[in-house]
Amino acid sequence: MSWITESNRLKHFFYAIPCAMLLTILFVGGLAAGMEFKDRAYGGKWDWLDLLATILGGIVGQMLQVLIFYALKCVHQTHF
């Protein structure tokens, strides 16, 4: 797992979490592709590991979103 600590991949991972929590993993997929497209357009290279780090963060964020919604549903059902 040393690949995720290289470059700025941890930033990709951690910034994707709130994006997926507020929106969805599909949004994060678009963000990931857009960031890599921007890197390529400005003379860099497409980095599949950056994209993977972003998607993994999005998966974590989406799971947190589902857990929050489930917890809110359970709380709502017990009070009424």
> In terms of residue numbers, what domain contains 62?
2-79
Closest CA to 56 of 22, 2, 20: 20
Measure Cα distances from 39 to 11, 29, 50, 51 in Å.
15, 16, 11, 11
**How do residues 9-40 score in pLDDT, each as one tens digit?**
999 999 999 999 999 999 999 999 999 999 99
Q: Is the pLDDT of residue 80 over 70?
A: no
| pTM assigned to the model | 0.85
Residue type present at position 3: W
